[in-house]
Amino acid sequence: MEKLKILLFEIIYVSFLFIFVISAFFPYFLYTGNPQPQEVHFSGIMYLEFGGWFGIVFIFISIKKVQDLYLIRAIEFGIIGCILIGINWILIIIFPLNRSLILTNASWLGIFMWIGFCFINFILLILHLFRRNLKSEMLIRKTILDLGTKFSRLEVREVSEVCKIDRATIIDIIKEMITNNEIYADYFSSSKTVAFNQLANVDEIDNLISIYKKWEAEKFDKK
């Protein structure tokens, strides 16, 4: 993902979360008494205790993962957060029993923000499934080829920070480059680091660049 897209997602995600939390400080529901006519106001803070606050925590973690370019984890935490908040709404609706429930403007706002959370995570999932494209692959390969001659060990996180592309895509391409002998290195899944054979990479840098340019040309020809 490009830096602008990441920033846009962060702003929208944070805005939805902020509005959702603020709406919870206002009356969410009016319960009309039965048989006696009376109205009882309940704030969102009270009713989010059915699991909604845990959902908000998961949404917050999801936002942090988007910021860290860790899309798959952002999606996982985001979906859990949406499910918890959704269950919270279901419990709220079935709780009144013998009293009629009237939604307030604040509760509708909260519902719309929850729908927004679900929509954002759906978009993130689509981006994750179709995350690889020619432009991002070229940028990742160029960055890895360059860093492979300068550093003996590199974290996926560091490559992600340079490219502004999610880590899952980078890991896939690193494994491909190692398998295709485009770089001389070993990838360690536990620490998510790449250990380069610097001497071999420097000696073969011209050959590696040649291989990369050939791959790039073939990709463009297919387009």
Domain boundary (129, 155, 183) is at 129
Q: Which residues partner with 39 through β-bridges?
A: 32
What tens digit of pLDDT does each residue of 31-74 get? Answer: 555 555 455 556 667 767 777 888 889 999 998 888 777 778 88
User: Is the pLDDT assigned to residue 217 strictly greater than 70?
Assistant: no
Q: Are residues 61 and 93 in the same domain?
A: yes
Cβ 155 vs Cβ 174: under 8 Å: no
pLDDT of residue 77: 92
Rounded distance between C-alpha atoms, residue 164 and residue 159, angstroms = 8
Domain boundary (59, 94, 129) is at 129
Q: Are residues 214 and 138 in the same domain?
A: yes
Q: Are residues 42 and 123 in the same domain?
A: yes
Domain boundary (108, 129, 150) is at 129
Q: Are residues 41 and 119 in the same domain?
A: yes
Question: Residue 157 burial (CB < 10 Å; 0-12/13-18/19+)?
Answer: middle
| DSSP state at residue 25 | T
* CATH number of the domain enclosing 209: 1.10.10.10
Mean pLDDT of the chain: 76
Q: Are residues 139 and 119 in the same domain?
A: no
Phi, psi of 42 (to 5 degrees): -130, 130
Q: Are residues 145 and 124 in the same domain?
A: no
Rounded distance between C-alpha atoms, residue 82 and residue 66, angstroms = 16
Q: Are residues 174 and 92 in the same domain?
A: no
Both tokens assigned to 133: 């494209």
Q: Are residues 45 and 145 in the same domain?
A: no
Q: Are residues 216 and 191 in the same domain?
A: yes
Q: Are residues 91 and 105 in the same domain?
A: yes
Q: Are residues 43 and 59 in the same domain?
A: yes
Report the number of distinct structural domains present in the chain. Answer: 2
What tens digit of pLDDT does each residue of 182-193 get? Answer: 777 888 888 888
Phi, psi of 29 (to 5 degrees): -140, 150
Cβ 125 vs Cβ 57: under 8 Å: no
Domain hosting 106: range is 3-129
Q: Are residues 142 and 119 in the same domain?
A: no
**pLDDT grade for 211, boundaries at 50, 70 and 90:** low
Cβ 82 vs Cβ 114: under 8 Å: yes
**pLDDT grade for 79, boundaries at 50, 70 and 90:** very high
